[in-house]
Structure 1
Amino acid sequence: MTGASSAATAKLPLRTCLAWGAGTIAVAALFNSVNVLLLRYVVDYGGISAALAGTLIAGSKVYDAIIDPVIGGASDKLRSKHGRRRPFLLAGGVLLALAALMLFNLPVFDNPLLTVTFFTASLLLYATGYATFSVPYMAMPAEMTSSYHERSRLISFRVAAVAIASMLAVFVGPVLMEAAGGGQAGHTALSMFLAVVVILATLYSFYGTRDAPFHSADGTPQLSWAVKLRSMASNRPFVILIIVKLLQLLALAVTQASMPFLFRRVLQLDDSAMGLYFLVFYGVMIAVQPLWVRVARSRGKRDSFIAATLIYGLIYMSWFFVTEAEPLALVYLRAAALGAFGGAVLLLGQSLLPDTMEWDYRCTGLRREGMLSAVYTIVEKVAFALGAALTGVLLGWSGYIQGAGGAAIEQPASAITAIYWLASFIPLGLLAVSVVALFFYDLTPDKLGEGDA
């Protein structure tokens, strides 16, 4: 541990928390833009079929999952005056900025194979940059503070940054696209905006965390992957957390994928109404972070997490009863409620990760936060891949009519029912099962030897 890390148990300066949290903007702004806009862009402007484009995007996720533990292991072993993690932030930010420029400026060659090759290379660059940045980044909180509750405070800045990045992707990006004239020119403007956001957030996070405590590589012996996995599996709190996050992120992925269908096919509302919904959702999520930090300190992380998750699921379940006649005020009130409790679920779930990393060190004496972060990141990717697949499969089975971009084509009743379930009872069920798993999570301040810290 460096000399700077002697302050690891003290309250982190606000400037350090802001800088670390801002790093999330670098990955989340591009992540949301890719999830929402990339497939349509590639199909409509790149001339690549939807099936092939979807397959290539899915394949890049597999590649991403493979390199996550490689990046995590490398960051565990790096020796640098800047710490083990921060140099990866710089490298990852540069790769992400380049990927933003490539992904939304797809050249259309006379030979379609060249276009597909360029798109594939862009996806691989994006996956590499995402892993290079996000895996070491998520390992940093366990090094920056050893305080049980201070980790919750630190993570709250990340959750707020997620909301800010989402608003940049959902609102500012499309506005710039429209101002630039739409089409390819609009996507070029979007790519330049995203590249600038990524670079600025990366530089701010890198330089702003220069005084944060960190651990140096400790000469951990080289172990086989099988031994590493068995050792991590013995970390019971970490395993339970992984199960919880898989279920909760799967619920989130399903609701994100189904919400556009709910707004268009059930509520009969346009994209601008849905945009306002997300503005309310993320705005409230930012506003409630200090409140949930205090609640977690007074009521305990696990119990607060359980309560927030249950209420969050019940609010989603209420979508089952909405109709076209639903007053807009109630739609946005639901957005505010989901933002409030969704903010708690994100904050409390993510704040448990550095706790399990600290427990891993207490049990093994090994500093391998990067490896644990890699596994956590893989679970995120698996959850979102499964969520999108589940949504697509259920809509397909229900007879949903594809290619009906406007609201004029009437969908069969079975498709409308599937949309209702995807937006309500399916996420409720997944969240309820995650609560059952949470009851087995027993990592407390006393167990970590921090008492009332």
Structure 2
Amino acid sequence: MSSRLSTSQKIGYAAGSVGTGGFSTVPGLLLLYYLTDELGVAAAAAGLVVLLPKAWDVVLNPFVGSWSDRTTSRWGARVPWMMRGAVLLPLAFAAMFWAPGGLADAGAALWVAGCFLLAATGFAFFQVPYIAQPAELTDDYAERTSLMTWRIALLTLAILVFGAGAPGLVKAGGDGLAGYRLMGVVCGTLFLIGFGVAILATRNLPTVLRAEPSGGLGEQLRAVAENRDFRVLFAAFVIQALGTSTALAGAAYVAEYLLGAKGMTTVLFVALVAPAILLVPVWRIFAARRGKQAGFRWATVLFLVGAVVMAFAGRVPTWFLLVGVAVAGTGYAGQQLFPLAMLPDTIQADALRTGRLRSGVFTGVWTAGETLGFALGPFLFAMVLALGGFVATTSGVSVDQPQSALTAIALGFGALPALLMLTSLPVLRRYSLTEASLADLAAQPGAR
């Protein structure tokens, strides 16, 4: 069976990232601000609302992976679960920003937390089997990078469109609660379209490798834990997800309180993500010449350099701050591409060693870590705000923040992400899986 996929098949698969990228972006960018500055929820409580539903995903994702490994249907193992998520996530996302009038503080926090919990569940149902598919659609080392290049290109475009467009939709809806309601409905609809295209594109694709789970979930998780290269890649990725999500959570606060204009949220986001659209193909060329691991390290260094500049937000000229954000965005492109191109390699290595393909369990653990990282980022930023004495407010009411809160915003936006990127570098250096080592595993007696 051919390991090659057509361009239309790659684009169809990649369309699912419109929904996953949008859902990963908008809550991280706007949900904390929506809670503290529109619904009057205190910063610490808002941080918990952002964190706890995502923490549920950390528990749920490995189960979804195991369940999908064992699923049989005329569309294969993955599509039925993707369909569940494609329905649940968009509806719950729209409801999350449709808090009934009059709700504030504790009542508003409970409404948003409940809707976010349902949306996070839908995200798990779609994302876990979706990420499992590349390891099953091709066993070619370079073809996985090509497939991921298309996916990351559309993912990055989605992140840019939703990151820049969601604040614009809020403004177009008149700001305040009405604006957030409009944004929730429009974004939820777009999520549904992206999910639908991916399902239609992959429901009849043949699989080169088929999942062959054995034992209970505990046994499968132990097998995942014993995969050294997966552990290393997973740890580095989660640390970096924590760093990027912390920076994203701070953008709206930097725009309003340090740059003096809410509209700068969109500018900051575009400066971070726009370079990635152009540079993902460049990172692919780099990987072909120097390897995926080297590309991942250099991308991390670039984000680190940009984050150092971001730590001085409000103290350096705006143009210089935007240059720093763009440098971070250059690294961000590679940080999106390389982990997801390397993940199927670790899954194939496990299959070659054990004779069993457990894509769903591996991607369940992976997305659990991704979810945790992107949930803890806004939570950490909220805790930095709380320590800095940030004053929450409600829609239409402005307050003067103390200098300690302004300092906390800058540190959470740049210094903390820089520290996390620095921490991930020695972890990443321990990754050793290459195309040659995979070929050696495949040549061993008893390999799949």
Q: TM-score, normalised by structure 1?
A: 0.86
In structure 2, C-alpha distance between the alignment counterparts of 1:302 and 1:213, rounded to whole Å? 29
Q: Which of 113, 116, 119 pairs up with 1:126?
A: 119
Where in structure 2 are there 5+ consecutive unaligned residues?
Answer: 442-448
Question: Which deviates more from structure 2 when the two are superposed, residues 42-51 or residues 373-382?
Answer: 42-51
1:44–1:143 Cα change, 3 Å: same
Cα displacement (A) at 1:236: 0.5
Tell whether 2:236 aligns with 1:244: yes
In the alignment, what sits opposite 1:426? 416
Tell whether 2:290 aligns with 1:299: yes
Cα displacement (A) at 1:293: 0.6
CA contact (8 A) 1:301 1:348 kept: yes
Q: Which of 170, 180, 190 pairs up with 1:187?
A: 180
Tell whether 2:190 aligns with 1:197: yes
In structure 2, C-alpha distance between the alignment counterparts of 1:220 and 1:399, rounded to whole Å? 50
Tell whether 2:6 aligns with 1:16: no
In structure 2, C-alpha distance between the alignment counterparts of 1:112 and 1:323, rounded to whole Å? 30
Q: Which of 334, 344, 350 pairs up with 2:334?
A: 344
| CA deviations over 1:154-198 (Å, ceiling 9, x no partner) | 112222223222233233334334434444443333233123212
Q: Which of 222, 226, 242 pairs up with 1:230?
A: 222
Count of aligned residue pairs for this structure pair: 440
In structure 2, C-alpha distance between the alignment counterparts of 1:398 and 1:49, rounded to whole Å? 13
CA contact (8 A) 1:72 1:370 kept: yes
Cα displacement (A) at 1:312: 2.0
CA contact (8 A) 1:23 1:205 kept: yes
Q: Which of 348, 354, 367 pairs up with 1:377?
A: 367
1:365–1:121 Cα change, 3 Å: same
Q: Which of 43, 48, 65 pairs up with 1:72?
A: 65
Tell whether 2:344 aligns with 1:354: yes
Q: Which of 248, 268, 278 pairs up with 1:287?
A: 278
In the alignment, what sits opposite 1:368? 358
In the alignment, what sits opposite 2:96? 103
Cα displacement (A) at 1:238: 0.4
Identical counterparts, % of pairs: 28
Cα displacement (A) at 1:52: 5.4
Cα displacement (A) at 1:307: 1.9
Where in structure 1 are there 5+ consecutive unaligned residues?
Answer: 1-5
Cα displacement (A) at 1:265: 4.1
In structure 1, C-alpha distance between the alignment counterparts of 2:110 and 2:402, rounded to whole Å? 37
1:134–1:273 Cα change, 3 Å: same
In structure 2, C-alpha distance between the alignment counterparts of 1:236 and 1:426, rounded to whole Å? 28
In structure 2, C-alpha distance between the alignment counterparts of 1:56 and 1:396, rounded to whole Å? 15
| CA deviations over 1:358-379 (Å, ceiling 9, x no partner) | 1111112222111111111111
CA contact (8 A) 2:211 2:358 kept: no
In structure 2, C-alpha distance between the alignment counterparts of 1:118 and 1:316, rounded to whole Å? 34
In the alignment, what sits opposite 1:170? 163
In structure 1, C-alpha distance between the alignment counterparts of 2:324 and 2:246, rounded to whole Å? 17
In structure 1, C-alpha distance between the alignment counterparts of 2:104 and 2:297, rounded to whole Å? 54
Tell whether 2:2 aligns with 1:7: yes
Q: Which of 26, 30, 50 pairs up with 2:23?
A: 30
In the alignment, what sits opposite 2:299? 308
1:337–1:42 Cα change, 3 Å: closer
Q: Which of 129, 135, 140 pairs up with 2:128?
A: 135
Cα displacement (A) at 1:130: 0.5
Cα displacement (A) at 1:229: 2.5
In the alignment, what sits opposite 1:3? none
1:236–1:344 Cα change, 3 Å: same
CA contact (8 A) 2:296 2:338 kept: yes
